[in-house]
Amino acid sequence: MAYASGKFALAISDRSGLQFPYTEMVKEWTGAWVHTSEYTPKAPQLMPHEHSPDPQALKHARPARVAPAALILLPINPFETYASGSQVINVHSPDHGRSTGATVRFRGTPFVSSETNVFADCQAVDGITGAVLCAVAGYTITKGKYVSGSSDDSDDWYYFSTGLLTATTGGIKGGGYPISAGPVTISA
């Protein structure tokens, strides 16, 4: 069947309802008959490409491991003696995440040596020597800040008893910086 060229014909746009020359009309992907100025191409999101699934296995897979305990850097002068004649030392360690009964060892400034894991002692606090504070065996801690014979259950404090020396004045902060708290032994 033969059709006329339509060079003098007019057509009505399905989109705007306006009249345009027939020869300037096109059919849109939606099936609408529109003028070339109103034509809208199909959005790429409507034609997604097919993707193959991601591979599941790794070539050099290794089992998960438990990360070794690490040292936590404490703020400046983290130790605070409780009272005169007391062996209790409060330790300020923001968001420490430790629990009552954990063993913690304190370490002073690290220094380079042929030996590994060499640290200086902490500074003395209120008559308690740095060697006692940084004892190699560490201390069993109780979560919270020691106040009047009990603990206030703070997440930023824990305390321990030196078992040897007692504070001279009480309520004194010290220890210096840097001081770290961590496990008794450090492994890589």
Task: Give a three-class secondary structure readout of 18-63.
Answer: CEEEHHHEEECCCCCEEECCCCCCCCHHHCCCCCCCCCCCCCCCCC
What residues pair up with 151 in beta bridges, in sequence order?
Answer: 146
pTM of the model: 0.62
The distance in angstroms from the start CA to the end CA of the chain is 86
Tell me the C-alpha distance between 106 and 139, whole Å: 9
The dotted CATH code for 70-188 is 2.40.30.20
Sequence ranges of the chain with CATH classification 2.40.30.20: 70-188
Answer yes or no: are the C-beta atoms of 33 and 13 closer than 8 Å.
Answer: yes
Where is pLDDT greater, at 113 or 162?
162
pLDDT at 113: 65
**Residue 188 predicted with pLDDT over 60:** no
More confident residue, 31 or 48: 31
Q: Which two tokens stand for residue 19?
A: 């009249």
Q: What is the pLDDT of residue 33?
A: 95
Over residues 51-104, the pLDDT tens digits come to 888 777 788 888 888 877 788 899 999 999 998 889 999 999 998 888 899 999
